[in-house]
Structure 1
Amino acid sequence: MNTLTPILNPLTLPRGAVLKNRLVMAPMTTCTGFYDGTVTRELVDYYRVRAGTLGAVIVECCFIDNLGPAFPGAIAIDSDNKIPGLARIAEAIKSRGSKAILQIYHGGRMVEPELIGGRTPVAPSAIAAPREGATTPRALTGDEVDMMITKFGDAVNRAIKAGFDGVEIHGANTYLIQQFYSPHSNRREDQWGGSRENRARFPLAVLEITHKMAARFASADFIIGYRFSPEELEVPGIRFDDTLYLLEKLAERGLDYVHFSVGQLLRSSIVEHQDPTPLIEKYLAQRSPTLAKVPTIGVGGVVNKSDAELGLAHGYDLVAIGKACIAYPDWADRIINNQTLELFIDSTQREALTIPEPLWRFSLVDAMIRDTSTSGRKYKPGVFQEKVEAEALKLKINVTLDTDRITDIALEQDDSLDVDFTTTFDTLRNRMLVANSPYVDAITGATTQSEALKKAVSRALATSSKAQVIEEGGNPEAPQQYDVVVIGSGGAGLAAAIEACDDGARVVIVEKMATIGGNTIKASVGMNAAETRFQKLKGIHDSKTAFYDETLKGGKFKNNPVLLKEFVELAPAAIDWLADHHIVLDDITITGGMGTDRTHRPADRSAVGGFLISGLVKNLNNRNIDVMLDTSVAEILSENGAVCGVKVVNEYNDSRILLAKSVIVATGGFSANREMVVKYRPELDGFVTTNHKGATGSGIGLLQRLGAGTVDMQEIQIHPTVEQTTSYLISESIRGGGAILVSQAGQRFFNEMETRDKVSAQIIALPEKSAWIIFDDQVRRNNKAADEYIAKGFVEQADTPEALAVKLNMDQNALLATLARYNQFVAQQHDDDFGRQTALRHPLNEGPFYAIRIAPGVHHTMGGVTINPDTAVLNADGEVIPGAWAAGEVTGGIHGANRIGGNAIADIIIFGILAGRHAAAYARR
């Protein structure tokens, strides 16, 4: 026995397993699984580096059924094909000397429909969770309850096969097992509901089948734990005496430990507010001798050795460590060596700490990330008040500033505020304080509110900076000196600014809109590149020659060959540049016009735009880069034929001069400028556009006034799959995942994987000038964007093709015949009707079935100003305009007469990096 600290004392569990000390890693959501719940390599690495000194690692909850995931990126144990991936986690933990325990669960009514393909979640009763917008679940039938218990047993069997030392049954956090025991969520009148005894049957049955599987397939010391939430707030709800009743019943059958699910080790009751007694003390005082033989795990607030020792001193037998293990992979070694730790994460250390990208973006971790860079801004200390106006909200916020940091953001008291807005504010406030910047990710589902808050904070910073300049005796309206001015904050502008800054330039970004992101944030499919390391890791054989040829063919041989060669050659390096900046695009799919999988996207298969902008903005916040929002460039200034700065005008119509030797124009195209579109293509009058309202071609006009030449201005791309009521782009990844296009007559009419111009033309040629994109649940599971479309409400779905046809007012026999014929083509891997050669991935035969009505919309303008391979802007005679650079859709020549899906993101990143590099070098001359 260790006399120095009790945390190092070993513990023998009731069934015989020995833990070498009293420390375990808590099961924490990482959101790092693949779309189908399989294990990723980075998740294995994450657990490997944290195992070792800890007595055990409890791996995050694994859903046991395909209706069970309670959050995106959850890992699964719902089928035997999950065993190999889970085995890699178990081996990684055990190889370091820690016990490996797997938590198993089902989310029940806490599952969001979009996580399960729009299907209705299941629960003991058809009672929605008491939260805003909660879905009313479907009650499980008696037979389904029996089947669910069997599925828990199957999960235990798979955990044993995967090599885990034990399982933790997740009966907490309002998930399915707790739902069966709760009088709020369980209103059944059969053997599984009603009395407390009946409600306890389900958790007891799960424990019983766990014991049976362990007895048949595992060693005698296989660990069986149970996690529980001591109380519920709901009325009626679980109270502490209910919990003791259930735990006594579970202990009688046999458990190795019970795991308190509480936010803090010494938390008191959440329903009996007048009683300050920690729940662990009540538990110890009231438990029976039988329950006293079962060790207890406490969790919550453990950062240092003293915290762990406090937990043991209050009667816990084991202590679980959560966030501290994320921030410090070697946490146990540190506290054993008496280090005093602070719970924060260096914003530059994600890879060094082996934290997967999805977990890094998870709110629990995001709150710990601290920007360790030194801001170059100077603020006047004090409190600055600004107004927030979003939808019906008109509020005031107080931004408290120190000389170089935002120290607080507070709402003026307003009794009319609802809970949703308060939650949005609190989350966004925390993100901005951690980043020391208003340029952070918006809150999902509250974008308008988020952007209004961010804008108000941005205004407060500008006001304070201006006040500081005045206090120091300066003139805030005087010309300000930079090395590089970047106009536009989409992907090209952000990449250019980051690269220029890293090359030693002082940079400012000028953005006419109120938010960062430009058109890039709407991008969906991914980024094309050939011969990348991620392709090689997946065994994809590709060549830059094929990429060049297919892009040239797609552009109808009008592409500028010099620019296209640079584009193709530098694409793999651009993928690596993003990865080096913690923006990893390592999942790969295909788009129309490409001959192989080369479209790189996030591992969770989400839309690339938001992922890309989020990552770039984090890099922006780590650098000394000024940003001016709601600020337009009125003129690019020149002297003796060379660029010397810009004149800008803010939202208050105040103007000022920014001096710089280099100006990078990255303002995007002109798809949202109807007058300009119609000028070059009259036949497109009346088409909707997928672009954001800032895509007006303003940068082209600025450069033309400097004498810049233009090319291919008449080449305007319409995208074939646009939802017309919302102008929402339906990603090419859906067709690339195996979807088909069907006319109102129920028939395919063209090769879905042809180039966008050809597919659009065929849709327009249909009598109704629209079509349906149809896919099954296999396509949905492989494309996260599909769940977004379902959540937005413009997807029709049905369990069978016949039922879907009824919803679409389509001939059932025609649709069935079309699907049968297409599925035959998939089987033979040849499309006899239209020659489709790619993305014949699997037959469309797994319900539910989905359909979205689509028609073409103005999507991309291939024309723009002329540049050379260094991104220097050329005048009408092909000569360089000194100091003028351009990147992205503002330029022309790269895509020719038609852009291939996935080439726009490649364009903005490749040439954005080049522009930043060359502009910085030119400014230093």
Structure 2
Amino acid sequence: MNSDDKVLSPFTLPNGTVLKNRLLMAPMTTCTGFYDGTVNSELVEYYRERAGAIGTVIVECCFIDDRGLAFPGAIGIDNDNKIEGLAKIAEAIKSRGSKAVLQIYHGGRMVEPKLIGGRAPVGPSAVAAPRDGAATPEELTAEEVDGMITKFGEGVRRAIQAGFDGVEIHGANTYLIQQFFSPNSNLRTDKWGGNRDNRARFPMAVLEITHQMVQQYADPSFIIGYRFSPEELEVPGIRFDDTMFLLEKLAERGVDYLHFSVGYTLRSSIVETTDPTPLIEKYVAMRSERLAQIPVMGVGGVVNRDDVDLAMEHGYDLVAIGKACIAYPDWADRIAKGEKLDLFIDSTKREALTIPEPLWRFSLVDAMIRDMSMASKKFKPGIFQEKVQDDANELLINVSLETDRIVDIALADNPALDVEFSTSFDIIRERILDANSPHVDAVTGATTQSEAVKKAVSKAIAKSCKAQLLEEGGDVNQPQHYDVVVVGSGGAGLAAAIQACDEGARVLIVEKMSSIGGNTIKASVGMNAAETRYQKLKGIEDSKELFYQETLKGGHFKNNPVLLREFVEQAPQAIEWLAEHGIELSDITITGGMSIDRTHRPADASAVGGFLISGLVKNVNKRNIDVMLDTSVTQIRYENGAVAGVELLNDENESLVINAKSVVVATGGFSANRDMVVKYRPELDGFVTTNHKGATGSGIAILEAIGAATVDMGEIQIHPTVEQTTSYLISESIRGGGAILVSQAGNRFFNEMETRDKVSAQIIALPEKYAYVVFDEQVRLKNKAADEYIARGFVESAESPRKLADKLGMDYHAFLATLERYNVFVDKQYDEDFGRKTAMRHPLNQGPFYAIRIAPGVHHTMGGVTIDTDTQVLDASKAVLKGAFAAGEVVGGIHGGNRIGGNAVADIIIFGILAGRNAAHNALR
């Protein structure tokens, strides 16, 4: 470093605090907090890794009130219980020699009701944000405004007690503080609204209470920063002269820095669009001598040292670095060495870069990820036009390819497509191009369109690879050779493919549907395992023997005891296998039929299925495992007493032959095959199914064709809690979190934590043949799935039990009596009526109160082909069909006459790993 290097030299703030350089890590959402806004170890390590060479780390915004979180996975500073976790972040940053500053905020009207239990957000006035679907906030009363200022002050106190070196007041991004200053969102007529002076009262009051807390609890070196958005597009809205007015007032009271919130350091006006002058230049020209004493920070578009220098040349004193710090944890070291950086993230490097899984899936990072596994694929360059169909349109899509990458995806002109369609297309297009892979997350609310576009890209890639093979003199009609073919891309198939690849096998995944994930992607509750390290960390005493006995009892003692013993023994190792592959299931709950909390799920208590598939797909991509979508296995070739390969049929009606010594069948069950269900259980005719449409039992048929035996085919499970209009499963984790089941008459009628078959039978026995899952705000806060149900419109909610009963058309006297009686049982931890012994976590007494109408639906087929403990498929005489392996719901015997919730995910991972390992060994020996 040159001695005159201004950027990397120490810098002194107005309060006398010295920063070791002028570089700061910008506050960026990670979505990594626990369900209640507390901090986890993954987040601590993320910040530790990025501290050090950079002078200061500004930690992502913390909500100061439980109605103030503006995004899922937000971390909070709304009560003293949060101090301990936040202190770990502060200590991690400071231990590396950087200053630690914490940003605090309240989302105000920008908060979505689904994030706060269906409640309305709050704001300065009852004016919805100018965006589609925005909720109208409740106007804060004068007393509540005073209370909100106090909450900001308490947030500052907690930040001080957690050991942070400063706070940044978040007065930007159209959040609550900005809403009070904006003439668009603040229509008040009291002292908090009206003219510009009055509208500035709230941000000034927040700054004032911050100073008071610093004076009382901190020393003078504590940093106070303020972030602002310089303009609003809305009419009326904040204009730049309004902002200068506010900044002058802030400077007069005293701040240590001001932080421009813009997407690019040299951004010009978004209002006066004909004026190209960067706003920072206008700021420098307009500020008073007093304001000029306050350092100003720029952010946005900073990747290399040149970007830093350019920002400072235009007037910034400090520079915050955003996405580059995610992609390069040692960013400051790199630019100090003069490195030139390209802003992307290798798709195989999440763990190495210490990027938390929720952040990895967040759009901020997703747009930077490149699928480096595609570099080994060889395309014939050109434009390939594909015709695909979504749920409403036939699409013509042009896919441009170069030798190793997807160059462009263009939609042929179609005047029938609306603006909303085009917007969704642009999003999925960008995701695919940024990832250089069709295997990306679908756009929320446009799933079928996303899958159609992904299918077009997959087909184009297949055609391009085929064309390249022909150009090189290859014969596309010759059978391809793999060591292991995995049929099905649910959890079992993906786990098998990953493990087989790691054993040294060349692997192909064949999937008859248009997308990866199978039925696993719909899984909600979690994965059962006993004697895991996560249980031990939480002080949960469990045993494999108890797990075995409860599963045996739950299966009506019909389980294959040898397979069940293997299942129980291997479960904790399977949990560790997932963790080693970046898929950590560290939170624990309980399901019906279990007496111990042993159902492992993601740290944020979200549904396990999407989390699991997302992590497994990244591992598949990382290993460059080939995948054929929209392709069915018509036959397993079984020659001379052993598997020789498979015959395939793709959606172009092309027949293909694949030679392989091992085949793993992981195609799932047959719950979506009504004829097959009714064949074995006629009384289930007319029941909805929770399964995806690909769960048709095709894998059982192709294995039976080579002699496989089956077992327990009549054992078909119906799940008690299914939303009937959509066939959407309401997770057992809601009951495991403390919910109850109530009839239309307002009464409990059975032990909610009994096995699924028994609970289903009791619902069917009700006169109305449906019931309600009833829970309160305490249950919602600890079960992220509940917010999804609220967002999907399944949930009725009310501030009181009486109002909820009215909404449900239920006798409120009976309903109130039911809740009161159940709450007494919770206090005693003894259910006198139905003998419930588990998940009586707390009384249901905290509003809002919620109800979801449910009835049973076909959920799981316990029957399937027979296997041994090595996952080898057996014939009727129990002889091994050499080279044929099976895992997951296609297999029978493990669950007996009833499956315990949480055991299916364990089943697919445990036996998927075993099948992959053994299939690889068979192929390679």
- 1:826 and 2:819 are equivalent in the alignment: no
CA contact (8 A) 1:548 1:565 kept: yes
CA distance 1:419–1:125, change in 2 (3 Å): farther
**SS at 1:859's partner residue?**
strand
Alignment-derived partner of residue 314 in structure 2: 314
Alignment-derived partner of residue 681 in structure 2: 681
Alignment-derived partner of residue 383 in structure 1: 383
| Residues 35-62 of structure 1: per-residue CA shift (max 9 Å, x gap) | 1111111111221222222222111101
Deviation at 1:289, TM superposition (A): 0.7
- 1:691-770 aligned at under 5 Å gives the runs 691-770=691-770
Deviation at 1:358, TM superposition (A): 1.0
**SS at 1:573's partner residue?**
helix
- 1:94-493 aligned at under 5 Å gives the runs 94-373=94-373, 375-412=375-412, 418-493=418-493
- More displaced stretch, 406-415 vs 245-254: 406-415
In 2: Cα distance, 1:388 partner to 1:632 partner:
18
In 1: Cα distance, 2:143 partner to 2:558 partner:
64
Deviation at 1:452, TM superposition (A): 1.1
- More displaced stretch, 521-530 vs 442-451: 442-451
| Residues 472-521 of structure 1: per-residue CA shift (max 9 Å, x gap) | 33332332222111111111111111111222222211111111111111
Q: Give the residue type in structure 2 aligned to 1:342.
A: D
**SS at 1:8's partner residue?**
coil
CA contact (8 A) 2:367 2:435 kept: no
**SS at 2:626's partner residue?**
strand
Q: Give the residue type in structure 2 aligned to 1:810.
A: M
CA distance 1:414–1:174, change in 2 (3 Å): farther
CA contact (8 A) 2:601 2:608 kept: yes
CA contact (8 A) 1:440 1:618 kept: no
| Residues 616-661 of structure 1: per-residue CA shift (max 9 Å, x gap) | 1111112232222111111111112322111111223221212211
In 1: Cα distance, 2:2 partner to 2:728 partner:
63
Alignment-derived partner of residue 632 in structure 1: 632
Deviation at 1:607, TM superposition (A): 0.8
CA contact (8 A) 2:186 2:193 kept: yes
| Residues 182-223 of structure 1: per-residue CA shift (max 9 Å, x gap) | 122222222222222221111111111211222222212321
TM-score normalised per structure 1: 0.98
CA distance 1:91–1:624, change in 2 (3 Å): closer
**SS at 2:721's partner residue?**
strand
- 1:772 and 2:772 are equivalent in the alignment: yes
- 1:816 and 2:816 are equivalent in the alignment: yes
Alignment-derived partner of residue 659 in structure 1: 659
- More displaced stretch, 434-443 vs 864-873: 434-443
In 2: Cα distance, 1:393 partner to 1:697 partner:
30
In 1: Cα distance, 2:777 partner to 2:906 partner:
30
**SS at 2:494's partner residue?**
helix
Q: Give the residue type in structure 1 aligned to 2:111.
A: V
**SS at 1:860's partner residue?**
strand
Query: What percent of counterpart residues are identical?
Result: 76
Deviation at 1:818, TM superposition (A): 1.2
In 2: Cα distance, 1:6 partner to 1:90 partner:
27
In 1: Cα distance, 2:322 partner to 2:3 partner:
26
CA contact (8 A) 2:374 2:436 kept: no
- 1:42-121 aligned at under 5 Å gives the runs 42-121=42-121
Q: Give the residue type in structure 2 aligned to 1:808.
A: L
Runs of 4+ deviating beyond 4 Å = 413-419
CA contact (8 A) 1:643 1:663 kept: yes
Deviation at 1:810, TM superposition (A): 1.3
CA contact (8 A) 1:345 1:368 kept: yes
Alignment-derived partner of residue 802 in structure 2: 802
Gaps of 5+ in 1: none
Alignment-derived partner of residue 27 in structure 1: 27
CA distance 1:396–1:5, change in 2 (3 Å): farther
Alignment-derived partner of residue 37 in structure 1: 37
CA contact (8 A) 2:53 2:332 kept: yes
CA distance 1:514–1:568, change in 2 (3 Å): same
CA contact (8 A) 1:375 1:623 kept: no
- 1:511-522 aligned at under 5 Å gives the runs 511-522=511-522
Deviation at 1:418, TM superposition (A): 4.5
CA contact (8 A) 2:374 2:405 kept: no
In 2: Cα distance, 1:456 partner to 1:331 partner:
38
- More displaced stretch, 106-115 vs 144-153: 144-153
| Residues 864-922 of structure 1: per-residue CA shift (max 9 Å, x gap) | 00001111110111101111111110010100111000000011111111111111111
Alignment-derived partner of residue 669 in structure 1: 669
In 2: Cα distance, 1:910 partner to 1:201 partner:
60
CA contact (8 A) 1:296 1:316 kept: yes
Alignment-derived partner of residue 527 in structure 1: 527
Deviation at 1:416, TM superposition (A): 6.1
In 1: Cα distance, 2:800 partner to 2:906 partner:
39
| Residues 233-260 of structure 1: per-residue CA shift (max 9 Å, x gap) | 2122211111111111111111111000
**SS at 2:539's partner residue?**
coil
Q: Give the residue type in structure 1 aligned to 2:427.
A: T
Deviation at 1:771, TM superposition (A): 1.1
CA contact (8 A) 1:663 1:885 kept: yes
In 2: Cα distance, 1:97 partner to 1:417 partner:
55
CA distance 1:310–1:189, change in 2 (3 Å): same
In 2: Cα distance, 1:788 partner to 1:631 partner:
32
**SS at 1:373's partner residue?**
helix
CA distance 1:5–1:397, change in 2 (3 Å): farther
Alignment-derived partner of residue 885 in structure 1: 885
In 2: Cα distance, 1:349 partner to 1:452 partner:
29
Q: Give the residue type in structure 1 aligned to 2:138.
A: R
CA contact (8 A) 2:371 2:437 kept: no
Alignment-derived partner of residue 903 in structure 1: 903
In 2: Cα distance, 1:462 partner to 1:349 partner:
26
Deviation at 1:553, TM superposition (A): 0.9
Q: Give the residue type in structure 2 aligned to 1:891.
A: V
In 2: Cα distance, 1:469 partner to 1:347 partner:
27
Alignment-derived partner of residue 860 in structure 2: 860
Alignment-derived partner of residue 840 in structure 1: 840
Instruction: Kindly tell me the number of residue pairs found equivalent between the two proteins.
Output: 925
In 1: Cα distance, 2:2 partner to 2:311 partner:
17
Q: Give the residue type in structure 1 aligned to 2:476.
A: P
CA contact (8 A) 1:280 1:314 kept: yes
| Residues 495-553 of structure 1: per-residue CA shift (max 9 Å, x gap) | 11111122222221111111111111111000111111222222221111111111111
In 2: Cα distance, 1:59 partner to 1:414 partner:
46
Please give the root-mean-square deviation of Cα atoms over the aligned residues, in Å: 1.6
**SS at 2:633's partner residue?**
strand
Q: Give the residue type in structure 1 aligned to 2:106.
A: H
In 2: Cα distance, 1:234 partner to 1:418 partner:
25
CA contact (8 A) 2:170 2:177 kept: yes
**SS at 1:7's partner residue?**
coil
Q: Give the residue type in structure 2 aligned to 1:884.
A: A
CA contact (8 A) 1:435 1:621 kept: no
CA contact (8 A) 1:6 1:309 kept: no
In 2: Cα distance, 1:352 partner to 1:730 partner:
36
**SS at 1:804's partner residue?**
helix
- 1:563-574 aligned at under 5 Å gives the runs 563-574=563-574
CA contact (8 A) 1:440 1:617 kept: no
CA contact (8 A) 1:6 1:312 kept: no
**SS at 2:754's partner residue?**
coil
Q: Give the residue type in structure 2 aligned to 1:864.
A: G
- More displaced stretch, 190-199 vs 789-798: 190-199
